[in-house]
Structure 1
Amino acid sequence: MTVTRHEPSPLEVGPPPGAPAPRPRRRAPLSARYVAGRLATALVAVWAVFTLVFFSLLATGNPAQLLVAPDAPPGELERITALMGFDRPPLEQYATFLGRVVTGDLPDSIRYDESPLALVAERLPASITLGLTGLLLGTLLGAAAGYLGATARRPLLRRLPLSLLTALDAIPSFFLGILLIFVFAIVLRSLPATGGGTLAHLVLPALTLAVVVAAPVGRIFRTALLDVAELDHVRTARSKGIAPAAVTARHVVANALPPVLNVLGVQAGMVLGGAIVTEALFGWPGLGQLSVSALNNRDYPLVLACVCVIAIGFVLVNLAVDLLAALLDPRNRR
């Protein structure tokens, strides 16, 4: 009779019994100084983004040209430029812009002739839905691949999922989106290629964004699991005869989450940036598509409104992730 033996899972290997059990550590609350420092950093980051975008748009030319017809009488361009304030010195325009951002009183969209914040508010729910779906799906895929990479007994299961996600991550998002459209919309005809409003329209763009998140999360989670598995309190828990599943869930996975949260903060920004291309590719009616349209039309106020909202969202997500990671692991409070 042949007995098949599998390699032991790396998380199941432990020392011989006898080590004393360590005392549980209590997580200290976040200090007001640390939270204030993170808030100040977030505000500086938002200000830097606003400043960079303002002067980049200023260098592209006079937005008032979009409002002047080719057969307009002489002097019409100068009149509209003065009326909208684009003839003022750059620093004066910049100070006016910052004041309007603080008060929320941005100038009307050049193309739509209405408040750009109102236009952004109409598209924001669709972008949040797509971003959260892609982030959640990518996190689940990456966590599953990372967990298999650290715990599976068969070498194929330990290597194949992460290798597949890494290969997909190497493909540019726009090209991956085109491949998904070709396979699922043209060949299989099971999902719509463009548009929004239904769950079926959400699948392909969410998968495109999920790949950006899944591979880094999987690699970090696998490494964190293997590192935590060698800590003293985990080895002691195994030596006391606690069930391997309970040790993995309570002592290994829980302590491997802070590095994953850190990488999720970065990946959330990648999702926000990738959503611009993804929404334009799939025709998803969100902020990304609106931003591309505003850039093509040189709609100065609308571009600023889109960038302001995206930048604030990115900074708030990273701030929340940083605070949560610091709360879970005091070593992150630096």
Structure 2
Amino acid sequence: MTAPSIAEASRTPGAGAGSAGSRYLRHPWVGFSLRRLGGLLLSFAVLVIVTFLIVPLIPGDPAVIAAGEGASPAQIATVRAELGLDLPLLTQFLNYFSGVLRLDMGASFISGEAVSALIFTRFPFTAEIALLAIVLVLAIAVPLGMTVAILTRGGRNRWLDAGFNFVTSLIYSVPQYVVATLLVVVFAVTLRWFPAAGAATLNSLVLPTAALMLGPACVISRIVRRETAAVLEKDYIRTARGWRLGVLRTNARYVLPNLVTTTLTLSGLILAAQLGGAVVIETVFAWPGLGQGIVNAILQRDYPVIRGIILVLGLLATLIIILVDLILAIIDPRNLGGTTHDV
């Protein structure tokens, strides 16, 4: 660019601001944030539509259920008007959507309690066992998978490899409700080490958390073992061993970082799935979380509660996956979906 052209560009109003603005919009973090925000809004829209359609598509008249047995037609009509079920479907949806935006999901047909209050009361119990389970899964599965891969490298200790694969496959293949029942029979009924149900003490956390974590721990440990075995054959690992850096230093500095992306991705997906698995676990252990709440609501046909809990669980699963994507992008900018630039 010649000197006059540089001077002319410098005199052009807004030229520098426009260039900076377009440069900002091309930044990988901007595109990443917009994609994740779009995915969140799309998931929210789908969840709102699906949860709204629960009531119209389920057989039976919610007004009859809410009015109770033996209610007269006049009483049923009054209840239907109070619930807004006599309004056009589009009007009902708009009312429901505006209520969700205000965190007002209606009231329970059975207890009359606000659904939002009910969810806020039960949510900490579900979050407690779900987060504790994922922490234990990572604390157990990653070291276990790495250890087995290191000990069986090069075809050594075949008995350990075979035993590891057999035990993890067996545990993972057993349904969660069967695992939960076995834990109750062995540790609560027979040995009496832990309570069989409820959430009165800290000991009550042990069995539901164990039932929730055993399957995911087996899956992640198997994948970590496979990924570790592949990393151990890389040239840079052979070089590190040739430098005699030591087993612990080599594995901590060169092997473990290459497992972070896979492990975190799977952990996020499993934690999101655990929110659904908690429904079964909480029912077996009478744990007062969202899982038991939705089971009770289904049995009682308490549609506002069903709507609210499904919506919250769906949004939580979406937020967990987005959070994992964010962590992975911070650890490795290549996960942003673009190349990094100096700004």
Match of residue 133 from structure 1: 132
Return the alpha-carbon distance in structure 2 between the equivalents of residues 280 and 67 of structure 1. Answer: 24
* Number of residue pairs matched by the alignment: 306
CA change 1:324–1:159 in 2 (3 A) is: farther
Deviations 1:141-198 (A, max 9, x none): 3223311221115333334234312211101111111111111122222221111121
Unaligned runs of 5+ in 1: 1-28
Match of 2:227 among 224, 228, 232: 224
Return the alpha-carbon distance in structure 2 between the equivalents of residues 291 and 35 of structure 1. Answer: 33
Check whether the contact 1:145–1:161 (CA below 8 A) recurs between aligned residues. no
Check whether the contact 1:169–1:211 (CA below 8 A) recurs between aligned residues. yes
The alignment's TM-score, normalised by the length of structure 1, stands at 0.85
Deviations 1:259-285 (A, max 9, x none): 011111110122111101110110011
Match of residue 47 from structure 2: 49
1:103 Cα deviation after fit: 1.6
Matched-pair identity in %: 30
Match of 1:37 among 35, 38, 49: 35
CA change 1:159–1:136 in 2 (3 A) is: farther
1:310 Cα deviation after fit: 1.3
CA change 1:86–1:268 in 2 (3 A) is: same
| Runs of 4 or more consecutive aligned structure 1 residues displaced over 6 Å after TM superposition | none
1:105 pairs with 2:104? yes
Check whether the contact 2:29–2:336 (CA below 8 A) recurs between aligned residues. no
Match of residue 82 from structure 2: 83
CA change 1:195–1:121 in 2 (3 A) is: same
Letter of the structure 2 residue corresponding to residue 119 of structure 1: L
Match of residue 14 from structure 2: none
The alignment's TM-score, normalised by the length of structure 2, stands at 0.83
Match of residue 95 from structure 2: 96
Deviations 1:221-280 (A, max 9, x none): 112212323334433333333223211101111121110111111101221111011101
Match of residue 252 from structure 1: 255
Check whether the contact 1:142–1:214 (CA below 8 A) recurs between aligned residues. yes
Match of 2:246 among 243, 247, 261: 243
1:42 Cα deviation after fit: 2.2
Check whether the contact 2:129–2:209 (CA below 8 A) recurs between aligned residues. yes
CA change 1:263–1:217 in 2 (3 A) is: same
Bigger shift: 90-99 or 287-296? 90-99
RMSD across aligned positions (CA): 2.0
Pairing of 1:274-289 with structure 2 (within 5 A):
274-289=277-292
Check whether the contact 1:111–1:299 (CA below 8 A) recurs between aligned residues. yes
1:303 pairs with 2:331? no
Check whether the contact 2:54–2:307 (CA below 8 A) recurs between aligned residues. no
Q: Which has the larger radius of gyration?
A: 2
Greater relative CO, 1 or 2 (CA 8 Å, sep 6+): 1
CA change 1:166–1:207 in 2 (3 A) is: same
Unaligned runs of 5+ in 2: 1-26, 338-343
Deviations 1:117-137 (A, max 9, x none): 111111111111111112222
CA change 1:283–1:146 in 2 (3 A) is: same
Match of residue 172 from structure 2: 169
